[in-house]
Chain A
Amino acid sequence: MVLMSEIFGIAAVAFGLFFSVVGILGLVRMPDVYTRLHASGKVSTLGLFGLLVGTAFFLPDTALKLIALAIFAILTLPVSTHAIAKAAYGHGITPARASRDDLAEGRDMSPSA
């Protein structure tokens, strides 16, 4: 007999798995660092959340730790995304197919901030 919690767990893990696959697909398809960051940095966040919720259904004892991990992920994943983007721009990579670049006009490339 299939438990109700296992059904919810499978649904959540499938949800997370779908978004992880889409994120990596974006990583493969996108043309440059910045657009790839959009794909992996965001879609993987939701993928991770799906896996977290799924694991919480399969292992109810660790739900508190998983909540802590979710809070940590929501706080830190955008920060590392920004750090990579800033490193890429500081490294001199210009965005591909950009129709407008305010940063190149408004500021010289000295690493002050």
Chain B
Amino acid sequence: MSSQLFTSKHNTLARLSLLLFVAGAAGFLGFMDMLHRSSYVRYTKVRREQPVPFSHKHHTNLGIDCRYCHTSVETSSFANVPPTQTCMNCHNVMWKESDMLGPVRESWETGESLEWTRVNDLPDFVYFNHSIHVNNGIGCATCHGRVDQMALTWREKPLFMKWCLECHRDPAQFVRPDDKIFDMAFDPKSLPLEERQALVEEYGIDTSNQRLTNCSICHR
């Protein structure tokens, strides 16, 4: 028996364990990064539970425009969730016995609010204004996806800053004509690039001096 506690093979083992540790740490970081982008954390494509299983698909298929309920989207930073009265415009007569609509009727009778689960929620350190976007050529579907095909609503985009910047760096990629803003099926890319560049001009979107990518445009 040698007096040495560690034999030469332990050298290899030590090196290997060091390597494994580094690889493990890198793997862990990589995993955290993936987790951070995953739909598990970002809630993308996850159907959210709601007090009433409201289907955008059903209602838009009837020909109801986004703005029938989201009335403030053209004038306000916030695209409102409608008051119970808007539901009751139709549902005072239609499906008025339906169990699914029970919470709506209860809210109507008691005057208490329905507590919907928010689907798209930007961090509080981001300023976002709906009206400036829909009045300057950005359609609902660009950010919200095909809500008109969602039964239970989900979040379409992970809402990364990188994603916002894609458009703020080059609005001509996403801009659409004024009469197509609420057209969910319209694809801006179906227009030639020159036409979209002309639209950017027409809307007066100022892309000079990196104005749209200035930090304080969104972080104010």
Do A and B pair up? The answer is no
Chain B interface residues (CB < 8 Å from chain A): none
Chain A interface residues (CB < 8 Å from chain B): none
